[in-house]
Amino acid sequence: MTTAASNHPTGTASANPHKVSHISVFGEAIEFFDEAASNLELDPNIKRILTHPSRQVIISIPFQRDNGNLDVYTGYRVQYSFARGPAKGGVRYHPDVTLDEVTALAFWMTWKCAVVDLPFGGGKGGVTCDPRVLSKNELERLTRRYAAEIMEVIGPDKDVPAPDVGTTPQIMAWIMDTVSMHNRGYTPGVVTGKPLNVGGSRGRVEATGRGVMIAIQSALEKMGKKLQGQRVVIQGFGNVGSISALLLREHGAKIVGISDQYVGLQNPAGIDVESAIAYINAPENPRRSLEGFPGCDALSNQQLLELPCDILVPAAIENQLTADNARKIKARSIAEVANVSTTPAADGLFSQAGVTVIPHILANAGGVTVSYFEWVQDRMGYYWRERE
């Protein structure tokens, strides 16, 4: 295990030798921070501290494939700040995971927890891998080795991981079980986002989507508007995007555009969200794709972002709204659900145009809020009903 600390916040290097990053994701995060710090007239000494991660851990993860061969992947755990409590943040399994990206995400988790007043600092982890090509047994061996390598820096009072892109409640259960085994004691509070039968919390699956709906509803109320009748376009129809669409529609919004990685769909009269969810979950749709869903016109993801609507919800991947397309966006309100959906340049253009942007550190904070409730229940040994 290697522990590193960057001397320059915008120069965090990628630890993945197979991927060259020409744009520092952490550097973009610091651009946002610098502007906020300037507006707040933040003390330069505090600013200097807050632009550097507390700890960056890089590990090698050797594990055996089903065919008997040994692979070695690179993993990370970044603990950005402990100022408000234990570090908190997900574990990401994706081919493009780098130290730079994980550091930026840990940075953003620091502010997300602070915005909703949770007693956590910011953290993030990841493994540079493609979980789609790994069998269940390979995923388990990889995860347990990753957990063993980082277990000295995680724990209920140190750093509490959770699911993220490419990881699941089952993966969290493997991490918890590995740590518990090494500690010779049941340690459910070491991770959140677990299955219910091993200390998970009711309401966790829907939490981020529910938080999106509440954030949009609250923002509209501040502007003297109601959710009823608002035309909404949602990019991304995974767990968060689909649940956001369902809850927004239930509260009176009209969903006029949705998309996944394969296709975008539009229907100005409104899309039947329940039918779309049933369509992607059908056994005869193994890719879980929206392709071929009836009653809608197909278009690209870029065209989807530029559709006429009142509220745009980018819920797919980062940096979808840039200086290149910001002037083409017709929405008057944007709820950033994917982390850093908007680049600093685009954010400035939206500000000039009077477009309201609900930042991702607020719009998608429902997940970490219910993760906090799970952590509390695990510490108490007392589990609440969902309505509580």
| 133 and 176 both lie in a single domain | yes
Position 13 scores a pLDDT of 37
Single residue among 163, 198, 233 that ends a domain in this structure: 198
Task: Give residue 89's pLDDT band: very low, low, confident or very high (50, 70, 90).
Answer: very high
Q: What is the CATH number of the domain that holds 325?
A: 3.40.50.720
Q: Which of 88, 124, 194, 254 is catalytic?
A: 124
| 128 and 242 both lie in a single domain | no
| 271 and 321 both lie in a single domain | yes
| 223 and 268 both lie in a single domain | yes
CA dihedral 286, 134, 129, 148 (to 10 degrees): 130
**pTM (2 d.p.):** 0.86
| 182 and 224 both lie in a single domain | no
Position 88 scores a pLDDT of 98
Q: 117 and 189 in contact (C-beta within 8 Å)?
A: no
| 187 and 220 both lie in a single domain | no
Is the pLDDT confidence value at 388 over 70? no
Residue 374 lies in a domain: no
Q: Which of 42-51, 201-210, 274-283, 326-335 has the lowest mean pLDDT?
A: 201-210
Q: How many Å apart are CA 280 and CA 287, to the nearest integer?
A: 8
For this structure, is 124 an active site residue? Answer: yes
Q: What is the CATH number of the domain that holds 74?
A: 3.40.50.10860
| Number of domain units in the chain | 2
| 241 and 349 both lie in a single domain | yes
Range of the domain at 217: 205-366
Is the pLDDT confidence value at 55 over 80? yes
Position 3 scores a pLDDT of 57
Q: What percent of the chain has pLDDT over 70?
A: 94
Beta strands in the chain (DSSP E): 2-4, 55-64, 70-81, 87-94, 121-128, 159-163, 231-235, 254-259, 264-266, 297-299, 311-314, 333-335, 356-358
Q: How many Å apart are CA 245 and CA 213, to the nearest integer?
A: 9
